[in-house]
Amino acid sequence: MQAGMRGKAGRKARAGWWSPERPWVWLTPAVALLLLYSIYPLIYNLVTSFKEFDPLIRGFQWVGNENWAKLVQDERAFNSLRVTLTYGIWALSIELILGMAIALIFDAGTYLRGLWQTLIIMPMVTPPAVVGLIFRLLEHSDFGVISWILYNAGILQPAEPLLGGTGKHALAGVLLADIWQWTPFCVLILLAGLKALPTEPLEAAKVDGASAWQTFWLVKLPLMRNVLAVVILFRIIDLYRLFDYIYIMTSGGPGQRTETLSFYAYQTYIFINWGYTATLGVAILVLIWVSTFVYTRVFKVEW
């Protein structure tokens, strides 16, 4: 950007407010649309969280802080937060560890690596709704292949299937779809990070006789800090919006065993408690902002 400043002074001085030397001329359409998508729902939800839809008059009525009072006592909302966090922690740790393991194997070198790298992309670009369907078939309690394998391995009892039953394993069932779809994402990005590692520290470690294990923990991992930070940030953002698999695979059930924040909000929307949907929406936004703010400060994510 240094070069950018050079030509600027002279050019900008004679430029009018509408001139192409003014950034806003280029940015306005994009910023306007993004404002529409970010500020409008925020303000709308904030205002609506103090109202409730009244089917009798087919319109909203002010209810004061009723929705917010309901939220702090809403066992179901806390349950959905718990489900989201449990899901998030499991998904993130398994995807990172598995992703890192596969990336390390790729990085160490295999035959036909290009082919494997292409194949492993496929889950990531499959529509999540279709992923939900695929795993419903695979995990079907009567004829799902995954269920069949788990029954035969004695890990699972047909009385307590992955999906359905009392829902003891339902979250694991949904997690399986998430892990399948998003581990490749971690693989690709971590692999890019591994490939970009500077060679000198690795060679120095080799000369010093460090084991592969030590090199990984003491040299590679610290050097990949930034890449790791980005992967985790993107997964955190995605986990809060977790909806598609739940909608297709479990509808939040059995009971509320797999009801995530997004899905609970959707339920209130379907039942036309729109004021409460707005309240949950604001709460979700605040949660995301706080977690990403803290996260980007702690990890100093660079763009």
| Residue 159: CA count within 13 A, CB half-sphere | 0
Find residue 54's DSSP bridge partners: 59
Q: How far is the CB of 12 from another protein (least distance, A)?
A: 9
Nearer to another protein, 127 or 198 (CB): 127
Structure-token match 């690596």, residue found: 113
Q: How far is the CB of 227 from another protein (least distance, A)?
A: 6
Which is nearer to another protein, 161 or 193 (by Cβ)? 193
- CB of residue 119 vs another protein: minimum separation in angstroms? 5
Comparison of 37 and 78: residue with beta carbon closer to another protein: 37
Distance in Å, CB of 230 to another protein, minimum: 5
Of the pair 196, 221, the CB lying nearest another protein is at 196
Residue 24 beta carbon to another protein: minimum distance, rounded to whole angstroms:
8
CB 295 within 8 Å of CB 233: yes
Three-state SS annotation for 206-253: HHCCCCHHHHHHHHHHHHCHHHHHHHHHHHHHHHHCCCHHHHHHCCCC
> In this complex, which beta carbon is closest to another protein, that of residue 109 or of residue 154?
109
